[in-house]
Amino acid sequence: MASDRTSRTPHEQYRLADFPVDDAWVRKNNESLAEVRRLQWSAGVLGVVVLAAGAGMLLYSELAAWGWIVATVAGVFAIGCLAMIWYIPRKMGSMAHTYATSELVPAIVAEVRPRGVTLLALVDRAVDRSAGTLPALAVRSCEKIPGHDARVGERVPCVAVVGNRSARGADNLYQFISPMPVSWATPDAAVLRRLTREIPAGEWESLRQKLDRVDEVSQTPTNLLPLD
């Protein structure tokens, strides 16, 4: 039973960020939510285009058998695309739940670009921490981070959004980890200061010493670099 509980609720082992999520602030500032909306729009547009193409082929064929086959296949594909509009946010869950169950991790502004910054975060790929840790570096590009200065070395408390657990979790490994700034969920500067303090100074310093590896991490297919 203990191992089953760990596999279902691994976040109970993690350091979590305890703060109230401001839904209005999330809708305005959270770039992850904006990415979800773009995926929904893309799925919707693709579904409509494919459905229209299928109907067009049916008319072009003058209701021939092959036209019905093409239209049916297009219709099934279009329904799948349109279903993604509902499925994507349901699969992701609410932002409040994501912040409440994702590990609090340190991140530092590693690069400042004309249209945003690159964050470098110290994360852990291990699902069940009782079996040991698997530290790694993760990067994320952001357009803006409210409440923080856009300067190299700026500390940005984040939560580690994980996914794509390989082999159905049999190898105790997350293959996708993306740092998501706490400041995308609250405008409260006191919360940001408190969570920054809750991350041990040693982790901040270890991350600072690895700032020069940001390009190395960015060149990996998953923006995730395991550490020895």
Between 122 and 149, name the one with better pLDDT: 122
- State the SS3 of the chain: CHHHHHHHCHHHHCCECCCCCCHHHHHHHCHHHHHHHHHHHHHHHHHHHHHHHHHHHHHHCCCCHHHHHHHHHHHHHHHHHHHHHHHHHHHHCCHHHHHHHCEEECEEEEEEECCEEEEEEEEECECCHHHCCCEEEEEEEECCCCCCCCCCCCECCEEEEEEEEHHHHCCCEEEEEEEEEHHHCCCCHHHHHHHHHHCCHHHHHHHHCCHHHHHHHHCCCCCEEECC
Distance CA(171)–CA(212), nearest Å, equals: 30
Phi and psi torsions of 190, nearest 5°: -65, -35
Distance CA(22)–CA(25), nearest Å, equals: 5
> What mean pLDDT is predicted for residues 14-25?
91
Which residue type, as a one-letter code, is found at position 104? Answer: L
Residue 6 pLDDT greater than 80, yes or no? no
Average pLDDT along the chain: 84
Token code pair at residue 44: 């919707």
Tokens 């490994």, residue?
Answer: 173
What are the tens digits of pLDDT across the range 67-100?
A: 788 788 888 877 777 676 666 566 556 788 889 9
| Angle (nearest 5°) at CA 45 between 42 and 46 | 80
Distance CA(127)–CA(3), nearest Å, equals: 12
Residue 151 pLDDT greater than 60, yes or no? yes
Band (51; pLDDT cuts 50, 70, 90): confident
Question: Pairing mode, if any, of strands 158-165 and 116-124?
Answer: unpaired
- The answer to whether 158 and 122 are in contact (CB under 8 A) is no
- The answer to whether 107 and 179 are in contact (CB under 8 A) is yes
Token code pair at residue 118: 């690159």
Token code pair at residue 194: 């408190």
